[in-house]
Structures are given as structure tokens and as C-alpha cells.
Amino acid sequence: MATRQASAETPRGESAEQVIARRGRDEPERAGQAREFRRQFVVDARSYGEGFDHGPNQAGTTHEAVFAGLRPAGEARLVSEEPHRDGRHTVLTYAVPVELADPREAAQAEVEQS
């Protein structure tokens, strides 16, 4: 699948970094700073701690990046955890490195057979 390079501009005249930041709506203040898609999840602070399963949130981050027209270029990872303003929840931020997907290319997927 083809991707757009960082120096290439989109039809709106935006850089790839600007498009990625706009599509990753959780942290608009990061516009143009990185080529990664970020997604925040709010979890109950009592359920968050050692043994917490980050897998579903990592998968959700990757899924939303694809849905936003981006192609993941690596694994999603936890990048920050902060207390929510209500004091009862924790805000988890995940990031996945991405490239712009070229809409002219057909979608392709590799399916592992067991």
C-alpha cells in the first residue's frame, strides 16, 4: 500500500504531520509535532493498576487510526497516564506511529491462518 511522504502536501495544502494531528482529535495542541496518532481512554482509577490489560485500548487506538485514513507503522503503546479532573478516573493516552494511507490504493490485509 502506498503512503505519502512527510514532505508531500495533501490537496488541502497541509503537511502529513498536520493531517495526522487533525485526524487524531484527542490532542489538537500537538499539531505538526509528530507522525503518530494518539487516543485517550478514561478508566476507573480503582480498576487501573498493576495487571491492567492495555491490549483492548492499544487495539482501539490502532483501529481508530485506520478509520481516520491512516496506516499504522508500528505497535500502539501507552505514552501517559494522568488523573482525571473528577478525581475518580485515570486518563490513559496511547500512541501509534502512522503514515497517511493513499486512497488510490486498494485496501490490503494479510490474514494469518492457524
Would residue 9 count as lying in a domain? yes
Residue at 71 is within a domain: yes
Q: Who has greater pLDDT, 82 or 18?
A: 82
Convert the pLDDT of each residue in 53-76 to its tens digit: 999 999 999 999 998 888 899 999
Q: Give a yes or no: residue 109 inside a domain.
A: no
Distances (CA, A) of 47 to 7, 90, 113: 43, 9, 35
Q: What percent of the chain shows pLDDT beyond 70?
A: 68
Residue 30 lies in a domain: yes
Could you give the CA distance from residue 84 to residue 91 in angstroms, rounded to a whole number? 6
Does the pLDDT of residue 114 top 80, yes or no? no
Angstrom distance (rounded) from CA 100 to CA 111: 22
4/33 Cα distance (integer angstroms): 17
pLDDT reported for residue 111: 63
16 vs 46, which has greater pLDDT?
A: 46
Please indicate, yes or no, if residue 85 is contained in any of the structural domains.
yes
Residue 32 lies in a domain: yes
Evaluate whether residue 111 is within a structural domain.
no
Instruction: Calculate the average pLDDT of the chain.
Output: 79
Q: Does the structure show a pLDDT above 70 at 1?
A: no
Name the residue range of residue 97's domain. Answer: 3-101
d(CA 63, CA 76): 10
pLDDT digits (tens, 9 = 90+) for 9-38: 455 677 777 777 676 655 545 544 568 899
Say if 108 falls within a structural domain: no
Q: What domain count does the chain have?
A: 1
pLDDT higher at 83 or 31:
83
